[in-house]
Amino acid sequence: MCGIAGAAGKNSEASVKKMLEAIKHRGPDGSGTFSIGDITLGNVLLKITGCKPQPIHNSGALTYNGEIYNFRQIAEKLHVTTDSDSEALFALISSKGMETAIQELDGDYAFAYVENEKLHIARDPAGVKPLYYTTGAGFAFASEKKALSVIGMNEIRTLKPGHMLTYSAGNITEKRVSGFTAGEPITDETIASKTLSETIKRAVEKRHYMPCAIAFSGGLDSSLIAALCPVAELYSVGMAGSHDIMQTKRAAQLLGLSDKLHLHELTLDEVESALPAVIRAVESGDPLKVSIAVPLFFASGDAKNGGIRVMLSGQGADELFAGYKRYESMKPAELESALRKDLENIAENNLERDDAVTMTNAVELRVPYLDRGVVELAMRIAPELKVHNGVRKYILRLAAKNFLPDELVFKEKKAAQYSSGIYSALVKLARKNEFMGERALGRYLEELWLKTTF
């Protein structure tokens, strides 16, 4: 896990070094650049899987951010001895080319590869790892928008999940190269729940790391991950007396994991002090985005202070298994369409925010529910099994019954920004800072955003 950047054109090396400085929080363990002609790649490194310095180069060059969970199998097939997923990825691309290599990857990634004066950038199909680019003076890309802003680029675009972009001699081509495939529909709830419990268990196991943390709210999604990864430390954040604080205590007790629970009961002053850093991380003053980001900012910061670099999250379960209240009234065909659309937009709506706020603390966020196997299985499960007799996430609850007590299985979902008490705290801070009337909170956060300089 790390931060990547690159540029093509005049003074590309100087531009990349400036970009890396802007995202150095993503990689405290080292940095490097490599140039081929007028193209420069750069990397700031957070050591998780192996310690191979980047960019990796030979006849081509690679800079990479993410985790490839099947890298050992890839390395074995290529007869490469390595403990580094980046080195396995480089060998795979060198051997088979970008598009063929991407088809063999099981993981979350954003990377760039240069060969024959062509620069290719690619992103995983769910969009777990972010990647932005600009076609201003030349071409440049980076893990965060702020890295492109510091070199004077304003028209910043997001590389779509599952897409590959190629830049060559001023020309750009972009196409979809990976995605999720749905197989035969599953309508039998016994088959669906059994297969789902096994698939989620594998997804959590492949993302397990020692030491490991879980962003823990005590709800169904995070409790299931905790039950499947009981060695992980549980980090919960909320305003003093909030629903999340009380619920996480109860959930940890029911799971027999009270000794793993780290509670952080926030004060209004703590939230106010953290807001500039949170807004800088997510690069937005949007009240919804900020109120969801604040607890994750503190949770990942607490995990970092505890010597932890990997945190698991329940992100994605609602979009796959119909967790939001708005899904309740939908007919099956409408629900299926809505879930597909929400999955397509989850990177922009949720993942990019979560990556930015955890990586500002140099903590890698892993999302088991967005494992390829889980996603493709979810796409096969009939919508009638996702909302059943008014129960949202019905099939996920059935799968969770293998691991959780009923009190947690049937726990109602509450929106994180409200259950943590953060949204209410932000409203109080807006009032404290004399923002009144319509859109007071939005205006308050927007002013903080405008004051943020990179």
Delimit the CATH 3.40.50.620 region(s) of the chain. Answer: 193-432
Is there a catalytic annotation at residue 2?
yes
Q: Is the dihedral of CA 315, 105, 25, 449 positive or negative?
A: negative
Domain with CATH 3.60.20.10 in the chain: 2-176
Q: What is the DSSP letter of 381?
A: B
Identify the residue with better confidence: 197 or 438: 197
Fold for 2-176, please state it: Glutamine Phosphoribosylpyrophosphate, subunit 1, domain 1 (3.60.20)
User: Per residue in 295-304, pLDDT tens?
Assistant: 999 999 999 9
Confidence of residue 50 (pLDDT cuts 50, 70, 90): low
223, 230 in Cβ contact below 8 A?
A: no
Cβ neighbours of residue 123 closer than 8 Å, sequence gap 6 or more: 109, 110, 129, 130, 131, 159, 160, 161, 162, 163
For the chain, the average pLDDT equals 95
- pLDDT(454) > 60: no
Residue 119 has pLDDT above 50, yes or no: yes
Whole-angstrom distance, CA of residue 97 vs CA of residue 387: 43
* CA–CA distance, 239 with 279 (Å, rounded to integer): 19
pLDDT of residue 169: 87
| Contact present, 179 and 126 (Cβ < 8 Å) | no
**Helices and strands (H and E) in the chain: how many:** 20, 19
Top CATH class of 193-432 equals alpha beta
Q: Which helix (H) or strand (E) holds 222?
A: helix 220-228
Supply the pTM of this predicted model.
0.95
**pLDDT tens profile 7-43:** 999 899 999 999 999 999 999 988 999 999 999 999 9
- Determine the Cα–Cα distance for residues 204 and 96; give it in Å rounded to an integer: 29
